[in-house]
Amino acid sequence: MKYLIVGPGGIGGSLGGFLASAGHDVSFIARGKTLEALRSHGLKLNSDLKGPIHIENPKAFPPGEYEGYADVIFVCVKDYSLDSVLPVLEKACGSGTVVIPLLNGFGAGDRIRARLPGCRIADGCIYISAFIDSPGTITQIGSLFRMVFGFRETSCPGHAILEAAESDLRGCGIDAAASGRIEAEIFRKFSFVSTAGACGAYYGIKVGDMQRVGQYRDTFLGLCSEMKAIAGKLGFEFEQDLVNINLGVLDKLSPETTSSLQKDLAAGRESEIDSLIFSVLTLADSLGVEAPIYRLVAEKLKQ
């Protein structure tokens, strides 16, 4: 199958690097210095899971220059950049293409479906700790690299593509699974990324600080409890308590991990604060859920 990675940052670079290193047909959509780096020295991935990976001559294109259709398009940009890549998705979508957004927020699939009704849009989420060292050079840390994706409607065509993608991803070392309850799975991921990012940004701490018993872990638990209340109002059910699920994810991460939200805020860059923090309060208010800890975090981060 032909894979197209839109946004070869920490997530997209790791995903594309794993697939390409296993011999799969992978292309990247990139801009600026990242595009230049991919074309000049290739994609370099320093992975705790697979060791060093170097894709020497990756197929890298600027937006608008990718020709033909991909079987699967993974959208790996930040939430605030989603609208800017919609023309790329529309051009690369053939009659059998499946688009899988892997954004941190909740509802990205709905936004793409509303704008591109002619494309076949699945929903997806990814668990990984990875970051950009420099343009074209990615570091993936820890043992967690998990993907879940699927269609909300069981009658939607394209399930064979998802099954083939699941097989390819598993074959290159990624814990991938197609799910029949993808909306709940995305909220599960959203609840972790949001709570860990909120706690880390509020205190300016690393994951290791939240892994130890004390104030930081208590704040993380409180944020998770507020997310659990929102999930209950939305009718999402999980095989375990959502707070315990998020603790399990937290404790698998490298202690040195910091969220991309925290990094962006600290550097004064554009961030996903709207989709990861403020949107939670909007959702809580609409559902009648009290979220005092989220409100406290939001008030500080607004400054």
Same domain, 188 and 292: yes
* Predicted pLDDT of residue 129: 85
CB burial class (10 A; 0-12, 13-18, 19+) of residue 256? exposed
Q: At what angle do helices 242-250 and 182-203 cross, to 10 degrees?
A: 60
Same domain, 168 and 213: no
pLDDT bin (cut points 50, 70, 90) of residue 157 is low
Same domain, 156 and 70: yes
pTM given for the model = 0.88
Strands 43-47 and 51-55: antiparallel
Residue 116, pLDDT above cutoff 70: yes
pLDDT bin (cut points 50, 70, 90) of residue 114 is very high
Own/partner pairs, 169-173, CB within 8 angstroms, 24+ separation:
169/18, 169/19, 171/22, 172/18, 172/19, 172/21, 172/22, 172/24, 173/18, 173/22, 173/49, 173/50, 173/145
Worst-scoring range by mean pLDDT, 114-123, 154-163, 226-235?
154-163
Query: Domain boundary at 180, 196, 224, which?
Result: 180
Residue 251, domain extent: 184-302
CB burial class (10 A; 0-12, 13-18, 19+) of residue 33? exposed
Query: Domain boundary at 180, 214, 240, which?
Result: 180
Query: What DSSP letter does each residue of 239-251 carry, written as one string?
Result: SS-HHHHHHHHHT
How far is CA 254 from each of CA 48, 67, 132, 236, rounded to the nearest angstrom?
A: 10, 39, 16, 29
Say which CATH number the domain at 60 has. Answer: 3.40.50.720
Q: Please write the tens of the pLDDT for every residue from 47-97.
A: 999 999 999 999 999 998 999 999 999 999 998 999 999 999 999 999 999
Q: What residue type is 303 in one-letter code?
A: Q
Which of 232, 210, 248 is CA-nearest to residue 290?
A: 232
Say which CATH number the domain at 209 has. Answer: 1.10.1040.10
Token output for 134: 């420099």
Token output for 1: 């199958």
pLDDT bin (cut points 50, 70, 90) of residue 159 is confident
Q: What is the mean pLDDT of residues 204-213?
A: 96
pLDDT bin (cut points 50, 70, 90) of residue 170 is very high
Number of domains making up the chain = 2
The span from the CA of 258 to the CA of 276, in Å, is 15
* Predicted pLDDT of residue 135: 95
Q: Please write the tens of the pLDDT for every residue from 236-253.
A: 999 899 999 999 989 988
The span from the CA of 124 to the CA of 121, in Å, is 10
* Predicted pLDDT of residue 154: 62
* Predicted pLDDT of residue 155: 57
Same domain, 176 and 189: no
Q: Which comes out higher in pLDDT, residue 126 or 159?
A: 126
Same domain, 197 and 288: yes
Same domain, 167 and 233: no
